[in-house]
Structure 1
Amino acid sequence: MTSPNAVSALAGTGVTAAATLHANLTAAGLYAQALARGEGRLSADGAFIAVTGQHTGRSVQDKFVADDPEVSKEIWWGKVNQKLEPAKFEAFTADVRAWLGQREVLFTQDLYAGADPAHRIKVRLVTTNAWHALFARNMFIRPAVEELASFTPDFTILHAPEMDAKPEHGGRAGSTTLIALSFAKKIIAIAGTSYAGEIKKSIFTVMNWLLPAKGVLPMHCSANVGKDGDTALFFGLSGTGKTTLSSDPERALIGDDEHGWSANGVFNFEGGCYAKVIKLSQEAEPQIWNASHRFGAVLENVIADERGNLDLDNGSLTENTRSCYPIEFIPGTAPGGVAGLPKNVVMLTADAFGVLPPIAKLTPAQAMYHFMSGYTAKVAGTEKGLGREPQATFSTCFGAPFLPRHPEVYGKMLAELIAQHGAQVWLVNTGWTGGSYGTGHRMSIKHTRALLRAALDGSLANATFATDPFFGLAVPQNVPGVPSEVLNPREAWADKAAYDKTASHLVGLFEKNFETFAGAVGEEVKAAALKSAA
C-alpha cells in the first residue's frame, strides 16, 4: 500500500513509483518497517541496531563531483573533489533512478538542512531502507506536518546502497561504490555503501558550497551556549571530543558537528547528533550514553548480546561505532538550534604524541595557522595499516573531505569573523600526556572540562601565561583544580630528552604540512608558523 502524497513525494527525483512507497513516516512507522523487513534489531533499551557491512566509514576515495562547466572554476579539484565527467554523472544517476524504480518498496523523507530559515535548504531523500530514512529523519531538521504539503526540494539524495556502481559510471577503478554530487543539477547519488554517514556528509558538502557565496561561514564544529548567552565553537577531527565536550550539562547544546556563522550568530545545520560511541562511558558522557540507550536512536555497527544489551567496548566490527539520535534527546538544547555570535573558539586535537599542552591561548595569526593545519594524531592500532607509532593527520579547516571550495576561502572568512567580533581562540589537547601513546596516558576528561570551563567563563584570562618553547603557544601556569605538571606537558614526561625529541619531530611535521597552504596566507600567519630549531 502506498502512503498518502506518494506521487508528490517523488516529484522532481526522476524516480518512478515503486509498488509500495512510504513517504515521511514517523520514527515509529520507520521502526515498524525496519523490523518487519529484517533490516536490524532492537537493543534492550529500544534503540535500533544496524550493521553496515563492508563499509563502516566514509568511502573517501569513492567521492566524485560532476565537472559541470558553470561551477568548475570555483571547485577545489584534487583528491578531495575528484572530477566526474557530466555525461558519466548523467549515466550514473539515470541508472540509480532506474534501479530505485525497480524496487518493491521505497522510503522518502523531506527534511531541512539549516536551522536559520534565511540560510536553509530543503532536502528530499529517496532510499531503499527504513533505517536509512530514520537516520536521515534523526540527523536533519524535521519540517512541521503542514509544511510537507508544499515541500519542493532544493537538493535530492538518490540512495541506492545495495546497487553496484559500474566501470562506465566513471568512479574509482575496481570499486562498486560511488558517491557522486552535482552542484549544478542539485543531485547526490549514492551507490554501493550502507554507511549512513554518506547521507549526512553529502549535505554538509552542499552547505559548504552554498553558504560562502552568501557571506556565511560553514564549519565542521560543534557548538554550545552558556546561561549568559556566550556561544562557543569546538572544531576538531573525529575522535578529538567535539561531541563529548560540547554536550556539557552546564551549557545548552546548539549542535554537535555542523554549523554556520552568519552576521547574526551561529546556527546548526542539523536536527540530530552522530556520536562516536566506542568505549562510551556512562559516567564520563552521561548525555550521549542516555541518548543512545532509548527508542529512536540508530546505532551503527554496535555489538549487543542475545538480550540486546550493548557492549560499547566491543570494536570487532569497527572502531567507528556510531549513535544517531535527535538533538532533543540531549537535555537543555538551545531553542531552535540558533544562538548569538561566538565569544570563544576552541580547536581540539587528540595529540597521540603527548607533547602539546592541554590548553593554550592563540593569537589571531596562530588561530588562522592552526585552522588551516587542522591537526590531530591517529592512534596506532585503531586503523589498518598503522604501526606502533602515532600518525599525524592534517585536515585543513578541520574538514578537508567536505570542502568543495579552496580552503583559503574558509580560512579567510574565519579570520575576518574572529577579528570583527573579537572572539578568543584556544587550542585544546584531548590526547595524551606524560608520554606518547603506549607510554603516557589519555588526558583526563575531568581536567579538560575544568580548563574549558575556565576558558569559557573568562576566568582563565586572569591566569599567568608562559610561552611554550617548541610550539610558541601561550600556556596557563595555574588553573584551579588542575595540577601544574598537567599544564606543562614537558613536566609530565619522566624522560625530558624523549619529550624534546618528540616535540621537535611534531614541529617538523607541522612545518612540512605548512608547505601545502603557505601561498594562501598572509605574512602574519607565516610568522606564526611552527619552525624547526636551526
Structure 2
Amino acid sequence: MELNNALKLHFNITPSQLIEIAIKRKEVQLSSSGAIVAKTGKYTGRSPKDKFIVKELASELAIDWKTNQQMTSANFDLLLKDVSNYLEEKELFVFDGFAGADQAYRLSIRIINEYAWHNLFAHQLFIRPTKEELAVHKEDFTVICVPNFEATPSIHGTNSETFIVINFDKKIVLIGGTQYAGEIKKSIFTIMNYLLPINDVLSMHCSANKGLNEDVALFFGLSGTGKTTLSADANRMLIGDDEHGWSDKGVFNIEGGCYAKCINLSEEKEPEIFRAITYGSVLENVIIDPHTHLADYNDCSLTENTRAAYPIHNIPHALNPSTAGHPNVIFFLTADAFGVLPPISKLSKEHAMYYFLSGYTSKLAGTERGITEPEATFSTCFGAPFLPLSPRVYAEMLGEKIRKHDVDVYLINTGWSGGPYGIGERISLSHTRAMVTAAIEGQLAYTEFEMERSFGLNIPKSCPNVPSEILNPRNTWKDKEAYDIQATKLTNLFRENFEKFS
C-alpha cells in the first residue's frame, strides 16, 4: 500500500519515541511501573461478529464458510479505497517485523497504525527484526489499523461500523472502528492458521514451556483458563504464552511477546507476569490511581478483560529463539464453573480428540448481562474464531502428532470444586501447579487411577503435594445428588455441541 500522501510517517521508531508521542497526543497515561495505560473505549474485547474473510478464487475452497463470514472482493476494494483516502494527511506509524520464531515458516509483516500506542503494542507482541533483517525486510502481509474510521454497512457490506477483514489474495488486513489492540494480534494468528497447515505445520492456540531436561509442555485453553499463568513457571523456560506452530522439528512461538489477562493480578500469585510489566509495556483498560499512577489490577469497572502486553524477554527464563523440540505432555485447560470436572484427569487418544474438538470452558454468572448461572462455552480446537480452515484439519494433525510422538494428554480444571460458581471454591493455583508438575515429571505414571462415572475420565487417586480428597470432584460436594444433576447437565451440553461433528 502506498503511503506517499500521509502527513508524516514514522518507520520503526523506538518504544521510547512511541511512548513520548502517545503521551504527547494524550492517547495514553504513564503508570508508576513505566507501562503506558490505554483505554479502548466501546470495545474492550474482540468483535467476532465483525470479522470477515474476503471470498476470492485462491482461498475460496479452503476456507470453512460455516464458521467464517465472507466479504466480496468488490466490498473489500471499496473499503480499502475509503480507508486509503482517510489516511491521507494523517500521521502514521509503521512497524516491520515477523511472525514465527522458526525462520523456515516465518511470515514477514508490516503493521500500519493511526495510534502510536497501537504501534508500540505491535512492536512488543511480534518478533522484532535485527538491523540487518530490517534493511532487507519485505512484507508478506500488511495490517492497516484505523480505529477512528468507521464503516458504513450498507456501502461496505459490514455488520456495523467495526470491521476486521482479511484478504488472502491481496495479503492485506483492514481493521477499523475499534481501539482494542488484540484485533491486530489475532488477525496475524488467523493468517498463520491458514498458512502453516498448508506447509504441514500444526498451528495452535496454546502456551508452551520447556524444562531443563528438554521436556516440552503445551497448554491449550480459552481466555481465563490459565495458559499464560501456568506457562510462566520460574522453574521452566518460557517458549510462548499464546500462539505456536508444531513442525516436524518441534514447537516454535509465533509471537515475540505476551498478552496476559491481568484482572486480579498480584505479585504473590503470579510474580513472573507482575514483574514483566515494566517500561515499554502496554496496559489496556487498567485503572490507575490519579495521584500515584499505581495500577489497580482488582478494578474491573471498565472490563474484566484487562490486558498487559510486553516483550517475551521480560520473562526471565524465556527462550531466545523461542523454539524447542516435540512436546512430552499436553494440557487442555478449562475453568469449569459447573464445578463437576476433575482438577486433573488423564485422557486417552480418543478422549483427547473429543475434548480438543469440544474446546470447553464456561462463562460465570454475573460477568455478563443476563447470565444468572454458569454457561458452557465451546470453542473448537480452543480457538474457533481464528480458524479459517475446517476444525478437522487441525484435529487430525494434532491426533497424528500425539500418536507419532507418544504424547501424554491431561485435562486440567482450573475452575470450581465443591459446588458451582457462587457455592464452591476456585481450585487453588498452588494445587494446579503441583498437578501440572507431577504430570510433566512423570510422577503420575506410578499412581493408581479410577474411572469417574459421569464423564468416563481417568482420575489419579493420589498426586504429590495435592490433597487426595479433592481429586474426585464428586467427593468435594456435600450434596452428591446435586453433583449428579449438575454433571448430567454438563455431559448433555457436551453431547449437543459435538453433534455438529457427527
| Pairwise TM-score range, normalised by the shorter structure | over 0.9
Aligned counterpart, 1:256: 241
Between the aligned partners of 1:141 and 1:130, the Cα distance in structure 2 is: 18
User: Does the CA contact (< 8 Å) of 2:8 and 2:89 recur in 1?
Assistant: no
One-letter identity of the residue aligned with 1:333: A
Task: Using the TM superposition, give the Cα deviation of residue 335 of structure 1 relative to its aligned residue in structure 2, in angstroms.
Answer: 2.3
Between the aligned partners of 2:341 and 2:224, the Cα distance in structure 1 is: 16
Give 4+ residue runs of structure 1 displaced > 2 Å after superposition. 14-17, 167-173
User: Does the CA contact (< 8 Å) of 2:152 and 2:158 recur in 1?
Assistant: no
Query: Does 1:186 find its partner at 2:171?
Result: yes
Aligned with 2:460 (options 476, 482, 492): 476
Task: Using the TM superposition, give the Cα deviation of residue 95 of structure 1 relative to its aligned residue in structure 2, in angstroms.
Answer: 1.1
Between the aligned partners of 1:449 and 1:87, the Cα distance in structure 2 is: 51
User: Does the CA contact (< 8 Å) of 1:35 and 1:41 recur in 2?
Assistant: yes
User: Does the CA contact (< 8 Å) of 1:66 and 1:182 recur in 2?
Assistant: yes
Between the aligned partners of 1:16 and 1:510, the Cα distance in structure 2 is: 54
Query: Does 1:138 find its partner at 2:124?
Result: yes
Query: Does 1:51 find its partner at 2:39?
Result: yes
Give unmatched runs, 5+ long, in structure 1.
1-12, 519-534
Aligned with 1:341 (options 326, 337, 358): 326
One-letter identity of the residue aligned with 1:488: N
Between 437-446 and 28-37, report the one with greater CA deviation: 28-37
Between the aligned partners of 1:217 and 1:480, the Cα distance in structure 2 is: 33
One-letter identity of the residue aligned with 1:37: R
Matches within 5 A, 1:114-153: 114-153=100-139
Between the aligned partners of 1:185 and 1:473, the Cα distance in structure 2 is: 47
Task: Using the TM superposition, give the Cα deviation of residue 169 of structure 1 relative to its aligned residue in structure 2, in angstroms.
Answer: 4.5
Give unmatched runs, 5+ long, in structure 2.
none
Query: Does 1:369 find its partner at 2:357?
Result: no
Aligned counterpart, 2:54: 66
What is the DSSP-based 3-state SS (H/G/I as helix, E as strand, rest coil) of the residue aligned with 1:260? strand
Write out per-residue CA displacement over residues 333-388 of structure 1, whole angstroms, 9 at most, x where no aligned residue. 1220000000001000000000000000001011011000000011111123322x
Matches within 5 A, 1:379-528: 379-387=364-372, 389-518=373-502
Between the aligned partners of 1:331 and 1:451, the Cα distance in structure 2 is: 23
Query: Does 1:101 find its partner at 2:85?
Result: no
Matches within 5 A, 1:12-51: 13-51=1-39
Task: Using the TM superposition, give the Cα deviation of residue 15 of structure 1 relative to its aligned residue in structure 2, in angstroms.
Answer: 3.1
Between the aligned partners of 1:213 and 1:66, the Cα distance in structure 2 is: 19
Between the aligned partners of 2:363 and 2:331, the Cα distance in structure 1 is: 20
What is the DSSP-based 3-state SS (H/G/I as helix, E as strand, rest coil) of the residue aligned with 1:335? coil
User: Does the CA contact (< 8 Å) of 1:89 and 1:169 recur in 2?
Assistant: no
Write out per-residue CA displacement over residues 86-144 of structure 1, whole angstroms, 9 at most, x where no aligned residue. 110111111112211231x1100001000000000001011111100000000000000
TM-score (norm 1): 0.93
Give the fraction of aligned pairs with identical amino acids, expressed as a percent. 54
User: Does the CA contact (< 8 Å) of 1:88 and 1:168 recur in 2?
Assistant: no
One-letter identity of the residue aligned with 2:242: D
Aligned with 1:330 (options 306, 311, 315): 315
What is the DSSP-based 3-state SS (H/G/I as helix, E as strand, rest coil) of the residue aligned with 1:49? strand
Write out per-residue CA displacement over residues 56-115 of structure 1, whole angstroms, 9 at most, x where no aligned residue. 00011000110012211110113x410101110111111112211231x11000010000
Aligned with 1:276 (options 261, 284, 307): 261
How many residues align? The count is 501
Task: Using the TM superposition, give the Cα deviation of residue 420 of structure 1 relative to its aligned residue in structure 2, in angstroms.
Answer: 0.6
Write out per-residue CA displacement over residues 194-225 of structure 1, whole angstroms, 9 at most, x where no aligned residue. 00000000000000000101000000000000
User: Does the CA contact (< 8 Å) of 2:140 and 2:171 recur in 1?
Assistant: yes
Aligned counterpart, 2:156: 170
Between the aligned partners of 2:62 and 2:367, the Cα distance in structure 1 is: 36
Matches within 5 A, 1:238-249: 238-249=223-234
Between the aligned partners of 1:98 and 1:147, the Cα distance in structure 2 is: 31
Aligned with 2:77 (options 90, 108, 112): 90
TM-score (norm 2): 0.99
Aligned counterpart, 1:266: 251
